[in-house]
Amino acid sequence: MVWDATTDVLVVGFGAAGACAGLEARAAGAEVLAVDRFNGGGATELSGGIVYAGGGTAVQREAGIGDTADAMFAYLAREVGDAVRPETLRRFVDSSPEMIDWLMGHGVPFEASVCTYKTSYPDNRYYLYYSGSECSGEFRAVTPPVQRGHRAKGRGASGKMIYQPLARAAFAAGVRFRPHTRVVALESDDSGRVIGVRARTMADAPASVRRSFAAMAAVAAKPGIYYPPLRRVLEGRLEALERRYAREIRIRARGGVILCAGGYIANREMLARYAPGYTGGLALGTTGDDGSGIELGLAAGGTAERMDNVSAWRFIAPPSAFYSGLLVNEEGRRFIDETRYGAAVGNALVREQGGKGWLLVDAALMGEARKQLASEAIWFQRLQAESMLRTSAVRADTVEEVARRAGISPEGLAATIRAHNEAIAGDRPDPQGKPREFTHPIEKGPFTLLDVSVRPKLTNPCPMFSLGGLVVDENTGAAHSSTGDPIPGLYVAGRSAIGICSESYVSGLSIADCVFSGRRAGRFASAELSETAA
């Protein structure tokens, strides 16, 4: 076989997982080449920039937040279920403080400014907050709530403040990067060992074409993420340029190939096949989250699990007053503790309520909520909240009338309010287990029902991304074959793989898992290089 390039470790996809894999492989002395179909950055660069970490990180200690590894493990064991083995989760938890130190050592900025109230994403005053369901009744019964959402310091959505420092550190360490290079197949030798890839690269296209390709890729990623028709047009143009200008190359990887190419949420065909109930959401990822990394692994003999698992986000706050409202279904019945993380709410809507739901608030809560918008929300959160109040709300002076206007059961809603109010007045637990500090009697009108249903809507979308992926050896990150044996020379990390958050997601857990699994794959791919050389 003729090779156009050779390296020790080849990283496919250069977001957070890919950058971390490259850094660890270089630290072990391996030569590293990273390729990416677009500009690099992946979903991490577009994200809010949250890393879920605890157990006494340097940032927590500076903020005066007491946390232990045992408390973090207790929370996550309840949250993520059987996504990974307990011993893998324990390694993740125990290495959490070191992970934050490692990220800061590579230039990722964090700050010990604590958000004391519960919110879906803090404003630019705060960079350490409750990023999951720690404050909810079910979880505080397991362990006291602790702020573990480490937001990289940067105004607005600060994902770029994680990816860009990691990318700079990787390049400074000697990682070579080829953007606009699309891997189309893995190459294996006669023994089944993965020894390289076949790819199509735009590297030899005219400079003006490469600039146009890069610009369109950036727009397709964001703002294209929020306006799918624009993204689809740009995707077509990008594919046309690849067909015309890309040439095929083969890249040899002496130590191994690491797939870090993201999930499949941008692939509508795969979404309809694996998770048809989630086609009404907003694809939270780049055009590169097309499942190609997963499909490459499957073609090489790998296996995939939890492909029907998608994280759907329906946040009801800010404003934080809305946590004291009541989430109800078509029958007017509550179906979840309103303080649960937005992905838990979204999945309950999709899986249990046919995607339909409403948030009920009374006049007092609405007044408090409007006051909080200016102080608790970043601009895009204010935009979404104001849009929901203007276009997705029905109001009436009585509970019966507001229910009729919304199209839900007046009798069911009235019964729900009675049960809720009687529990509060009688000093009894909330029927859905909501902590008392978030409860509020629904008493005086006008009453408002806010439509929080999961459906396509530009101003108040329901972001989603896939959680399933290729099965890996949890000690090394090596891809597993259908027989359960590692596939020599093939490693997987990030959302291309089954990981910590593959059953249940809270903010920061995906990026934390990208760091954890990316570093693991980089270390062991380098170790395999030494073994093959010997």
Instruction: Round to whole Å and give the CA distance between 251 and 98.
Output: 34
How do residues 84-135 score in pLDDT, each as one tens digit? Answer: 999 999 999 999 999 999 999 999 999 999 998 999 999 999 999 999 999 9
pLDDT of residue 102: 98
pLDDT of residue 1: 76
What's 133's DSSP letter? S
pLDDT of residue 454: 87
Q: Which of 485, 461, 460 is nearest to 471 (CA)?
A: 485
How do residues 240-261 score in pLDDT, each as one tens digit? Answer: 999 999 999 999 999 999 999 9
The architecture that CATH gives domain 5-47+158-311+465-533 is: 3-Layer(bba) Sandwich (3.50)
CA angle 9-254-107, nearest 5°? 15
pLDDT of residue 17: 98
460, pLDDT greater than 90: no
Beta-sheet strand order (sheet of 149-151): 50-52, 149-151, 128-129
pLDDT category of residue 374 using cuts at 50, 70 and 90: confident
Domain extents in the chain: 5-47+158-311+465-533, 50-151, 315-451
Q: Where are the alpha helices (DSSP H) in 68-141?
A: 69-80, 86-94, 96-105, 137-140
Domain 315-451 maps to which CATH number in 3.30.420.40, 3.10.110.10, 3.90.700.10, 3.40.50.460? Answer: 3.90.700.10
Q: Mean pLDDT across the chain, nearest whole number?
A: 95
385, pLDDT greater than 90: no
417, pLDDT greater than 70: yes
pLDDT of residue 459: 67
533, pLDDT greater than 60: no
How do residues 497-516 score in pLDDT, each as one tens digit? Answer: 999 999 999 999 999 999 99
Q: Percent of the chain, pLDDT > 90?
A: 87
450, pLDDT greater than 60: yes
527, pLDDT greater than 80: yes
User: Quick one: average pLDDT of 261-282?
Assistant: 93
534, pLDDT greater than 60: no
40, pLDDT greater than 70: yes
Q: Which of 449, 486, 459 is nearest to 471 (CA)?
A: 486
pLDDT of residue 458: 66
pLDDT of residue 530: 66
pLDDT category of residue 532 using cuts at 50, 70 and 90: low
pLDDT of residue 280: 81
Cα Rg for the chain, rounded, in angstroms? 24
CA angle 416-393-325, nearest 5°? 35
User: Quick one: average pLDDT of 346-362?
Assistant: 95
Buried b (16+ CB within 10 A) or exposed e, 120-148: bbbbeebbbbbbbbbbbbbbbeebebbbb
Q: Maximum CA pair distance of the chain? A: 79
Question: Is residue 512 within 8 Å of 51, Cβ to Cβ?
Answer: yes
Buried b (16+ CB within 10 A) or exposed e, 341-366: bbbbbbbbbbeebebbbbbbbbbebb
CB hemisphere CA count around 429 (13 angstroms):
9
SS3 458: coil
pLDDT of residue 508: 98
Most confident of 165-174, 459-468, 525-534: 165-174
How do residues 280-316 score in pLDDT, each as one tens digit? Answer: 888 999 999 999 999 999 999 999 999 999 999 999 9
Name residue 100's amino acid: I
pLDDT of residue 390: 87
pLDDT of residue 209: 98
Please report, to the nearest 10 degrees, the dihedral formed by the alpha carbons of residues 356, 358, 359, 361 taken in order.
-170
528, pLDDT greater than 90: no
Which pTM does this prediction carry? 0.95
386, pLDDT greater than 90: no
pLDDT of residue 139: 95
